[in-house]
Amino acid sequence: MKGFSPLPHQQDVLDLLTKRERLGRIVTVKSSRQKGKSLLIANLLLFYAFNYKRTSNFCVSPTLKQSKNLFKMIVNACPNEIVSSSNATDLDIEFINRSTISFRSAEQGDSLRGYTCKGILCVDECAFIPDDVFYKILPWVDVWKSPILLVSSPYVKSGFFWHYYSLGLQGDNPKMFSINWSDPKYKESMEKLLPSERLEEYRKILPSNQFKSEYLGEFLDDAGSVFTGFKECIKNLSITNNDSLYVGIDWAIGNSGDDTVLIALNQDGCEVEQMILNNISPTDQINRIATFLRKYKSKVKVITPETNSIGNVYIDQLFTDNPDLKSIRCEPFTTTNDSKNKIVTQLQNAFEQRKISILGTEKELNELGTYAMEFNPHTKKITYNAPNGLHDDICMALALAYNGLLNQSKTGYYAVTAFGHRYI
């Protein structure tokens, strides 16, 4: 690509993949963010397309959007006179020497079967591509022994990216190589791309696990405790006259191991109320919550109740049975894997950055201490849950309350209408 002057960490990859011995090689590159992964991939694809006639070269990314971005990067870099055709729908480029570059995404699933790669196969951000998708595209290189570049910021110590990176480090296979762009020998060139002062800014604002993986380029354990530093965030506070309250509610049936939990944070992120309800009827649960909300009605800025399972029913009953509470702003929260990950990450960051305080009851400390992350290598999804046999109701109520505090700039209120409850 015109104007590309590879830095030492990029040149080491090019040296492995552009020489005569390249056939059959698998080069795995572990990189932190903003270190020139996309530029390296684009230039390797162009190198093979320009220097080897009638080759078919591929790049596979986790999402269609990422594939389109790389497609546009290469199309914009190529003079019109060397491009025979380009298809922005299929994401294929053909050059006048009959070589092609094609972009595909992991989202295409089974339709990825059957391609043949005669140039180079690049897999971008492959730590975020499901294992079964990778093993669908791996046979593309078998016929021509085409080299493979696996490049990604690291995620967890699981899955094909971790597997191939580990094999390359062992050095037992002369065709497998691993390069760590976080190696101190690349420090000078890395600081040209991301100055140390900017790195420190990210360290201060990001959860530690996210900072480690994305900006230090470190693999994470695929399971373990989520929250750290929470024992240093204990303050024995209660509601004061000047407080504004942000309330999170995690519902339960009320006669099992799960608790219905209400937690209120004040405007400074301090936990000032914790209500745990169990072994009472749903009506009694709702009445107790209504009593609290009524007592502090003028202080409650927002309540964030979970809607899943019985949640919608309880929310409807709360406002139907207590019409005087309808003026309280309510932001019902639907829990999906993605939405749950978001609020858990927010809470994780709040503890690490000391932006929140808790009452530190024994049950609360136990739940926060055992709350765990699990990684599914097939779907590349992280899930957060209490271990089997334990509970996370306080964790969830706390995360919901903190989410309400962060979203405090919104306006509106919750209304019960003939068409059901809705946020206005």
Least Cα distance to 128 among 162, 92, 103, 165 occurs for 162
- Spatial distance between the Cα atoms of 290 and 284, rounded to a whole number of angstroms: 10
Least Cα distance to 287 among 322, 326, 329, 339 occurs for 322
Other beta carbons within 10 angstroms of residue 205's beta carbon come to: 10
Q: Is the dihedral of CA 302, 307, 313, 316 positive or negative?
A: positive
- Is residue 379 scored above 80 in pLDDT? no
Burial of 67 (0-12, 13-18, 19+ CB in 10 A): buried
- Is residue 415 scored above 50 in pLDDT? no
Q: What pLDDT was estimated at residue 418?
A: 39
Query: Residue 387 gets which letter from DSSP?
Result: P
Least Cα distance to 22 among 179, 166, 139, 144 occurs for 144
> Phi and psi dihedrals of 98, rounded to 5?
75, 10
Q: 351: which residues sit within 8 A by CB, 6+ positions away?
A: 227, 228, 229, 230, 233
3-state SS class at 38: helix
Locate 138 and state its tokens: 């791996």
**Residue 386 pLDDT level (bands cut at 50, 70, 90):** confident
Q: 228: which residues sit within 8 A by CB, 6+ positions away?
A: 208, 348, 351, 352
pLDDT digits (tens, 9 = 90+) for 16-40: 999 888 999 999 999 998 899 999 9
Q: What pLDDT was estimated at residue 326?
A: 94
Q: 78: which residues sit within 8 A by CB, 6+ positions away?
A: 46, 93, 95
Comparing 379 with 423, which gets the higher pLDDT?
379
Q: What pLDDT was estimated at residue 197?
A: 92
Least Cα distance to 192 among 6, 408, 396 occurs for 6
Other beta carbons within 10 angstroms of residue 41's beta carbon come to: 23
Which residue type does 8 have? P
pLDDT digits (tens, 9 = 90+) for 349-378: 999 999 999 999 998 998 998 888 877 767
- Say which range, 18-27, 197-206, 218-227, has the weakest mean pLDDT: 218-227
Q: What pLDDT was estimated at residue 419?
A: 37
Which residue type does 367 have? E
- Is residue 413 scored above 50 in pLDDT? no
Query: Residue 306 gets which letter from DSSP?
Result: B
Instruction: List strand residue ranges (DSSP E) for 288-335, in order.
Output: 300-305
Average pLDDT over all residues of the chain: 90
3-state secondary structure 214-273: HCCCCCECCEEECCCCHHHHECCCCCCCCCCEEEEEECCCCCCCCCEEEEEECCCCEEEE
- Is residue 8 scored above 90 in pLDDT? yes
Torsion angle of C-alpha atoms 154, 155, 160, 166, degrees rounded to 10: 50
pLDDT digits (tens, 9 = 90+) for 301-315: 999 999 988 899 999
Q: What pLDDT was estimated at residue 20?
A: 81
Q: What is the mean pLDDT of residues 135-156?
A: 95
